[in-house]
Amino acid sequence: MSELTTIARPYAQAAFDYAVEHNAIGHWQEMLMFAAQVASNESIKGLLTGAVAAQKLAEIFNGVCGEQLDQQGQNLIQILAENKRLNALPDIYLMFSQLKAEHDKEIDVDVTSATKLLKKQQTSIGDALEKRLSRKVKLNCSVDPSLIAGVVIKAGDTVIDGSLRSKLNRLADALQA
């Protein structure tokens, strides 16, 4: 876990709690996404690591963001600047998005198959996963011909490997043992 991730966690949690309290989760996610993109800009990165006073840095950053940030968003930028944490904005945005997904009971699921899945197959996999995970599922499908047949499903820490390649590897290990 990177140092920025550890630094970002309390800010993301505080922003999320505030957003939930004020029924503005989507608005806060948009503000944080924009601020994270600004913080990732090469010109701004140089400014963040420079010897600029916190007040001036917050003014410049808020000036660049303009109307994309409301007063509370600008206050967050001010606090981050005072604590020399503006470089953590991309991590704050990612953690905020994870908190939103948990709140919305959503999960992204990566499905890798040997051949392109039909719409019916995607629907079937999605429905089964929604029942198993008790969450809304968003499938991200990809094709990997090296699987030979079957699918590999990754949902958070859960991996379901139903590929023929995996089964053949297990068989080979069993025969060698």
pLDDT tens-digit map of 21-66 = 988 899 999 999 999 998 888 877 777 776 677 788 888 888 888 8
Which CATH number fits the domain that encloses residue 125? 3.40.30
* Domain residue limits at 122: 106-176
pLDDT of residue 106: 81
Return the closest-CA partner of residue 66 out of 38, 90, 86, 94.
38
What DSSP string runs through 43-67? HHHHHHTS---HHHHHHHHHHHHGG
Q: Are residues 11 and 76 in the same domain?
A: yes
pLDDT tens-digit map of 134-160 = 888 889 999 988 888 889 999 878 888
Which CATH number fits the domain that encloses residue 44? 1.10.520.20
Helices (H), the chain: 3-21, 25-40, 42-48, 54-65, 71-82, 89-103, 119-133, 164-176
The number of domains in the chain is: 2
Q: Are residues 66 and 116 in the same domain?
A: no
Q: Are residues 70 and 127 in the same domain?
A: no
* Domain final residue, candidates 102, 124, 140: 102
